[in-house]
Amino acid sequence: MRLSAITLSKIALALVATIALPALAEESDSDRIEFRSFHSQALEKDVPFAVIIPNSDPTAEGWPTLFLLHGRGRNHLSLIDDPQSRAELLHQPYLIALPYGFDGWYINSPVDSSSKYGDAFKELETLIAHDYPVQKNRNSRAIIGWSMGGFGTLYHATYRPDQYAFAGAIIGLLDFPRRDGLPENQRYDIPESIFGSDPNTWRNFNPRLQIDALRNTRVFLVIGEQAFDRTMNENFLQDARQASVDITAVRLSHSHTFEAVQEGLPLVLDEVREHFVKVGALSLP
């Protein structure tokens, strides 16, 4: 059977369209990532951040919001630059804000008056609520983080329980800052330029010591079984259960590595989505 020139032309066009579709989809997804900065009054400097817009229009109430805090030595683009993690983030039906926390541990330092990263994070929360069509109630806000960002997540969730109904941590430092009582290989050097050197002051920042504040918060942990922070997470988990906190933990056979973050991220993102659906902040088809 001979094919006409018109038929051959149609086949060629169909093949070109099929090949181009994935590239066009990827380009469209990239358009949903915004790279921005704001001038922080608390830090007196510009602070970069990224926002990932859902691939759907907001409802009349707006989108639910997830704040995602990075680990030490990383930044707000670390997950976006990783193709595997980027795909997971772009797949979510809620707005995701990724702040750059520098090396500030997301707190106001008790010893350095210029290190007000806790206040800077609150400034970003206010900016997101002003600049984007997001819901503005506790049930529609979630916060998660990894490593240092896991600490920052549970710090803000415990000290500001009115802000977040869901908190999740991947290989987070959740019984920190602390030295006494932890095994030698289950500690992390405390940056005294941020936290100071007084163990009594450290107690004011340790999320495990404020666990009672989480009784109305859904908590999800990803624990690395070979990680130096495993004991911290197990301590936090045990105390949370004793305090009747709604908490779930998943254990992965990882040390404190980015691979643990890659594997744990989709687990936490799925939990965030389920939380938003359960509380009525998100409707899925």
Q: 4 is in which domain, residue-wise?
A: 1-31
Residue 284 lies in a domain: no
Q: Are residues 149 and 170 part of one domain?
A: yes
Q: Are residues 170 and 40 part of one domain?
A: yes
Instruction: Enter the pTM of the model.
Output: 0.90
Residue 228 lies in a domain: yes
DSSP assignment, residue 218? E
What is the number of structural domains in the chain?
2
Q: Are residues 3 and 128 part of one domain?
A: no
Q: Are residues 27 and 38 part of one domain?
A: no
Predicted local confidence at residue 30, as pLDDT: 80
pLDDT digit string, tens, across residues 100-135: 999 999 999 999 999 999 999 999 999 999 999 999
Q: Are residues 7 and 101 part of one domain?
A: no
Q: Are residues 239 and 157 part of one domain?
A: yes
Closest among 264, 266, 228, 241 to 90, alpha carbons compared: 266
Query: Where are the alpha helices (H) located in 31-147, listed in sequence order?
Result: 78-81, 83-90, 117-131
Give the CA radius of gyration of the chain: 21
Residue 140 lies in a domain: yes
pLDDT digit string, tens, across residues 130-158: 999 999 999 999 999 999 999 999 999 99
Q: Are residues 169 and 72 part of one domain?
A: yes
Asked if pLDDT for residue 165 goes beyond 50, the answer is yes
Q: Are residues 42 and 17 part of one domain?
A: no
pLDDT band for 163, please (50, 70, 90 cuts). Answer: very high
Determine the Cα–Cα distance for residues 148 and 171; give it in Å rounded to an integer: 9
Q: Are residues 63 and 14 part of one domain?
A: no
Determine the Cα–Cα distance for residues 91 and 81; give it in Å rounded to an integer: 15
